[in-house]
A and B are shown apart, each in its own frame.
Chain A
């Protein structure tokens, strides 16, 4: 019951947050220098064509009127029509969003898996050669820009060894297609974040491994893996989960680079194209979807606290 009430309250807060973000975005993107009509017409512009296009796109109306038109469309579930493509924003986003979701999930799973594993290993081998080597590797992955890592992965795994393709997204949802098309982009997106998670896991776990209850577990003769993954990990997870949530949100920002380098369809590239063209409806639609993603991820992270630590109450 408490969870249900909490979910309802968070949903209301989420909707309000998204509304505020979208409203700010609506006005902010129009403050950015540059006019979509100018971009569209370029050197073909004539005063008559500028006037015609401005009117046809509804940009001649006062800003407040444009805002209410946008809200009215939004209430009907219509994100409007892309100015350049003259296609429904919902259609354009719908075509690429599944690719983004799959990449985000793969990147997040990969970064958490490697991050936690390496962090736990370094904590257990605290101050050993293994600890220093794994943390150095983490620093390297953290420092390499996403596009450099992407090109490196393509050069090694696609061009030299021909294990994965250089370009494209997964057309089918078979395990083989996902493996072929997601592995390199997910590695490129996730490895840097894996480094952050590993460092965080290590520092938290080193502290936990020195606590009294772990000493007790050791004195009882429990195996190292049981101590680490059953007893120590649970107490590490609370702080880790909040950071993973933040990392996933930050990961959204890395999408443009990853999608461009691997020539994958996705929301990041779509948004970048929209900004370049000052395609207001497409920018608004993309921002709305990203805002919803952030709200959902934050909500899931908050919910997971209670699952990890039953002492935490939903209020």
Chain B
């Protein structure tokens, strides 16, 4: 009897052990989200966290190649095998790869889905915030099972392609999925990316799983997903996120706040990585309708008063000196027109010339978010050195756009990231609703529109450089340091591609380190 019990026990143990042997451990990648998910509909995504999630779930027709170290960052087709621009720059023929599958059994990607996804952004019922990117589109037509032709109202094909690389403007979803999911689509995104959406738990994070039928994007070298699951966990505080990285609760942490890079540099078993260039371009905007600020000599004096290199250094490794209207990775970006190297004597001379030898009172507004507060305080400090009486005012972020539009300020701090010269230049147009500075001339508007509608790259570059020269002379903005997107990554993880925008990261090629 005892022997029978012993044999039985051994059998049970063997069965249990074989079960354990048969079960391979699931590989899970844990990534930090810095803020709450808002909306996972690609046409209406808002927070950076929305973008981080969608970056893994969806794929664009064209994307910026963040694996490249070239400047400007080259644009390449992802779902598009090719895109041909007509000579007049009015038509673009997209040819997509064949055999790409949508997640959750929504079938093969076809030209119908491409046209539908793009038209959806233009549909007023969708209320897409990026509908303006499609303002130049006259029609989108399916011309073959894998071909879509976009016809533009003008010759702005080059500008349109550049805009498509940003904010999910060329993400493609399944028409069938949108129709079936209805109102739930903004919480259940469907794409062709390496990871498919599983669930969003408000206040906790987002859960993804490998999409086994992922096509691998051979031209990009991504291959099959490297992890079984991705958990994207909401952690607002940088230091807590780094604590979690240290204890192994997280694998990838995008760093946002001041001091976080310095802390991460002290940590063991992690790699610090950043995108090839700065992301957020900090800008001090001037309200040129205000008496003193309206004088270009005063704005130039305020530029000469700033030691931008020192400011960038003092703000830490998160900042890069880049006094240029466009981000360094944007087509045609150049800092060669910047002539305002730190020169307080010259600043005082210009102020006196403009009729303000004893300075004046300047109202500087800013919200205490990101590094904007630090940029404002540093800037104001230098202006005080040349006799400006700086009246600092902190504005709640939620009210900032309204307050800036109301115009009761002299200078304000903001930052911007877009991937196209036109989207930057739009800020300077007299017709732009978000041109809070009041700066602009019909001639400049015409130059911007001409540059945007020039299909030839070389000619477009000449025009965009002319634009940069004009605004660098007139200074409706001073372009401060560009924030570098840093990531602290566990040494157990390889293949993470940092993207030059806050905490945005591409995990398509991420895999456990050997």
Contacts and interface: CB of A to CB of B under 8 A. Distances in A.
Contacts of B131: 49
A166 B129 contact: no
B430 to A, nearest CB: 14
A212 interface: no
Contacts of B434: 43-45
Nearest to A33: B399
B495 interface: no
Given A49-B129, A86-B39, A159-B243, A96 B401 contact: no
Interface in A220-273: 259-261, 263-266, 269-270, 273
Contacts of B44: 86
A49 B127 contact: yes
Contacts of A169: 203-204
Interface string A75-106: 00000000011110000100110010000000
A53 interface: yes
Interface stretch (A8-16, A34-42, A122-130, A288-296): A34-42
A265 B243 contact: no
Given A154-B243, A264-B203, A265-B204, A167 B233 contact: yes
A306 to B, nearest CB: 38
A199 interface: no
B436 to A, nearest CB: 9
Interface in B427-484: 433-434
A165 B202 contact: no
Contact of A276 (B124, B127, B247, B398): B398
A263 B244 CA distance: 11
A92 B131 CA distance: 28
Main secondary structure of the interface of A (DSSP, over half): helix
Given A44-B130, A85-B39, A166-B240, A92 B235 contact: no
A202 interface: no
A47 interface: yes
A56 interface: yes
B257 to A, nearest CB: 14
A145 interface: no
B203 A159 contact: no
Contacts of B247: 158-159, 162, 165-166
Given A84-B46, A168-B233, 6 more contacts: A41-B129, A43-B434, A84-B39, A165-B247, A263-B234, A263-B240
A35 B416 CA distance: 22
B204 A168 contact: yes
Interface string A52-65: 11001000000000
A198 interface: no
B132 A269 contact: no
Interface string B13-57: 000000000000000000000001111010010100000000000
Contact of B244 (A44, A167, A264): A167
A52 B128 CA distance: 10
A154 B240 contact: yes
B360 interface: no
Interface of A: 33-35, 38-47, 49, 52-53, 56, 84-87, 92, 95-96, 99, 151, 154-155, 158-159, 162, 165-169, 259-261, 263-266, 269-270, 273, 276-278
B433 A45 contact: yes
B329 to A, nearest CB: 20
A34 B127 contact: no
Interface centre among B131, B233, B244, B250 (most CB of A within 10 A): B244
CB-CB nearest 10 A-B residue pairs = A265-B203, A44-B129, A166-B244, A263-B235, A34-B398, A166-B243, A95-B202, A96-B203, A265-B204, A34-B399
8 contacts: A42-B401, A85-B186, A86-B44, A165-B247, A260-B236, A270-B203, A277-B38, A277-B398
B341 interface: no
A266 B36 CA distance: 12
B233 A43 contact: no
Given A49-B131, A154-B243, A43 B46 contact: no
B233 A269 contact: no
B108 interface: no
Nearest to B433: A46
Contacts of A95: 201-203
Contact of B237 (A39, A45, A261): A261
Contacts of B402: 33-35, 38
